[in-house]
Amino acid sequence: MIEGLEPVALQELRVLGTPRHWSVEGHLDQLLSLTPVRGDLHAEHRGNVLMVEGDLRTTVTLCCDRCLGQFNHELRCTSAELIWLGQAPPTEDDLQNSEEISAMEGLVEYLDPRGKFDPQQWVFEQLNLQLPLVNRCGEHCPGPRIHPERSFRESAEPIDPRWAALRGLQ
């Protein structure tokens, strides 16, 4: 847990009247990182939405999907998100009546207005979204390791006749 990123009541943010600022410096329990997560986070209560902005960075160690070697990968994100404050996702009428979000599309997150905003969870989600779908160590990747004394072509094992046509394409 990162010190200082404890959940904060949304009512407290509303009463504050100005954006709440957090300096982020530490390791997340859910995201194993090589370096501490560093950055800034701002949250502002704007009536029926919560505006959250953050600039975050860290370095994680990943396993290459191709050669199975480990490599370091920098995660960096600058995010801004509007979170609806209500018991359920906003309806079309809610969106049209709100000046703040009338132009926004894809608003899917919502929080109970009597609940809490968890800045640490938000930081985790934003960084987790930056993880690559396919882990590649780079252009220099040697590819899968092949057993040195045998190759597929020189295999002494009998070949299943169903694969004979494919072997002929080599």
Tell me the per-residue pLDDT of 29-41, one tens digit each, with 9 for 90 and over.
Answer: 999 999 999 999 9
Check: CB of residue 74 under 8 Å from CB of residue 59: yes
Please state, in angstroms and rounded to a whole number, the distance separating the CA atoms of residues 83 and 117: 10
Check: CB of residue 155 under 8 Å from CB of residue 167: no
For the chain, which residues make up each domain, given as ranges? Answer: 8-168
Q: What is the pLDDT of residue 169?
A: 76
pLDDT in tens, 43-66: 999 888 899 999 999 999 999 999
The backbone torsions φ and ψ at residue 41, rounded to the nearest 5 degrees and listed phi first, read: -140, 135
Instruction: Tell me the average pLDDT across 131-159.
Output: 75
Q: Model-level pTM?
A: 0.76
pLDDT in tens, 83-117: 988 877 767 666 666 655 545 555 568 899 899 99
Instruction: Tell me the average pLDDT across 150-155.
Output: 54
